[in-house]
Amino acid sequence: MLLAGDIGGTKTSLAVYSPEAGPRAPLAEATYRSAQYASLEDMVEEFLRRTGLPVEHASFGVAGPVVGGRASITNLPWVIDVADLGAALRTPSVCLLNDLAAIANAVPYLTGADYDTVVPGLATAGGAIAVIAPGTGLGEAFLTWDGTRYRAHPSEGGHTDFAPVNPREVQLLCYLLERFDHVSYERVCSGKGIPNIYNFLKEYGYAEEPAWLSDEIASTDDPTRVIVRTALDADKPSPLSKATLEAFALILGTEAGNLTLKLLATGGVYLGGGIPPRILPLLKTEQFERAFRSKGRLSELMDRIPVHVILNTKAALLGAAYYGFECVYGTVPDPLRPG
């Protein structure tokens, strides 16, 4: 049996799978608050002790770059090493991959219920596929066709330099350069970045901040949650919060288009992470589509490429399981695998 995990700075999901049932039917599954454990080994040992299931193989997607079988978790003082995990599990069969690479590994196996199309198009069979995921940070990955199957590749493209495309975004860049040594796309296109856009719009007078909203943001350690909630309030949305999410959506569209061009991702684009499913109406607008497709002389090429939002909240865990089965068996024992 295979143990798979989606390891994040805030929470970690673990599950055990059998080759007979496959990655869509875990035998046991649990989610833990990561900070409550000193190490992944401690968490895994507790999970397996509780389930009583023996595992022979393991595969983990981790929130951070993986180099030489080791990874440091973003926002968590863990260092994950395949040798240490193998010793804790008493097996040498341990796979480690970046969390965005894990999401990318799930993409070829997604069904219609797992995603929603926000920009229509016609994917090219065998074309490269782009994956961009604004969550706490901004993750990017991609898939290429090797002649028989898609293979996922990690990237740290979310940390590339933010490039404004209109006068207001130029002002935003100048505003952030006064506060940060490096202004990446993650500074403006992630959960961390949303407060940066909000504060810029407030200080430049694009919309008023009511006193009640100022007090609520000041009293929380997660202003992004407040901004998103008040922007999407059906009865009385905050104009400032709404303007923030609209600016965020346009920047996401632009960067998704940039990644598409860099990869020539004619196989389509998939938006992962926790934010896109929450702002679907903003991603189904002409403004978002225009931000994605407006690439000068290559706009005609962009017109054919679809954009999808991943709705399945367990995509990273699924991807880690698919990757683990591929490593062990060279194939995935799953009836949902595409032909």
How remote is the C-alpha of 32 from its chain's centroid?
19
Are 253 and 282 members of one domain?
yes
Q: Is residue 37 part of a domain?
A: yes
Q: Is residue 334 part of a domain?
A: no
What is the C-alpha to C-alpha distance for residues 271 and 264, in angstroms, rounded to an integer?
16
DSSP 162: P
Residues 30, 33, 35: CA angle, nearest 5 degrees: 145
Are 98 and 116 members of one domain?
no
Are 133 and 215 members of one domain?
yes
Are 268 and 321 members of one domain?
no
Q: Is residue 87 part of a domain?
A: yes
Q: What is the pLDDT of residue 268?
A: 98
Residues 325, 331, 336: CA angle, nearest 5 degrees: 90
Identify the sign of the CA torsion 207, 205, 193, 10.
negative
Are 263 and 153 members of one domain?
yes
What is the C-alpha to C-alpha distance for residues 177 and 187, in angstroms, rounded to an integer?
11
Domain total in the chain: 2
Are 13 and 133 members of one domain?
no
Are 274 and 127 members of one domain?
yes
CB 172 within 8 Å of CB 184: no
Q: Is residue 151 part of a domain?
A: yes
Q: Domain containing 23 — which CATH number?
A: 3.30.420.40
Q: Domain containing 219 — which CATH number?
A: 3.40.367.20
Sheet holding 57-62, edge to edge: 28-33, 11-17, 2-7, 57-62, 94-98
Pick the closest to residue 285 from 259, 253, 312, 261 (CA basis).
253
Q: Is residue 195 part of a domain?
A: yes
Dihedral of CA atoms 6, 7, 11, 14 in degrees, nearest 10, equals 50
Q: Which two tokens stand for residue 5?
A: 């995990």
What is the C-alpha to C-alpha distance for residues 157 and 150, in angstroms, rounded to an integer?
20
Q: Is residue 338 part of a domain?
A: no
What is the C-alpha to C-alpha distance for residues 48 and 309, in angstroms, rounded to an integer?
33
| Side-chain half-sphere CA neighbours of 317 within 13 A | 23
Q: What is the pLDDT of residue 90?
A: 87
Q: Is residue 337 part of a domain?
A: no
Are 231 and 119 members of one domain?
yes
Q: Is residue 140 part of a domain?
A: yes
Q: In which domain, by residue range, is 11 found?
A: 2-105+314-329
Residues 6 or more apart from 107 whose CB is under 8 A from it?
A: 129, 131, 143, 150, 152, 270, 310, 319
Each residue's pLDDT expressed in tens, for the chain with a length of 339 residues? 999 999 987 889 999 999 888 899 999 999 999 989 999 999 999 999 999 999 999 999 998 888 888 988 777 888 899 998 898 888 889 999 999 999 999 999 999 999 999 999 999 999 999 999 998 889 999 999 999 889 999 998 999 999 999 999 999 999 999 999 999 999 999 999 999 999 999 999 999 999 999 999 999 999 999 999 999 998 989 999 999 999 999 999 999 999 999 999 999 999 999 999 999 999 999 999 999 999 999 999 999 999 999 999 999 999 999 999 988 877 665 544 443
230-242 burial code (b ≥16 CB/10 A, e <16) = bbbeeeeebebbb
Q: Which two tokens stand for residue 8?
A: 């994040």
Are 44 and 121 members of one domain?
no
What is the C-alpha to C-alpha distance for residues 315 and 107, in angstroms, rounded to an integer?
8
Pick the closest to residue 73 from 133, 13, 155, 9 (CA basis).
9
Task: Please state the length of the chain.
Answer: 339
Are 186 and 259 members of one domain?
yes
Pick the closest to residue 142 from 272, 38, 6 (CA basis).
272
Are 122 and 85 members of one domain?
no
Residue with tokens 């998704």, as numbered in its chain:
256
Q: Which two tokens stand for residue 114?
A: 């797992």
Residue with tokens 């002002």, as numbered in its chain:
171
Are 6 and 45 members of one domain?
yes
Q: What is the pLDDT of residue 339?
A: 37
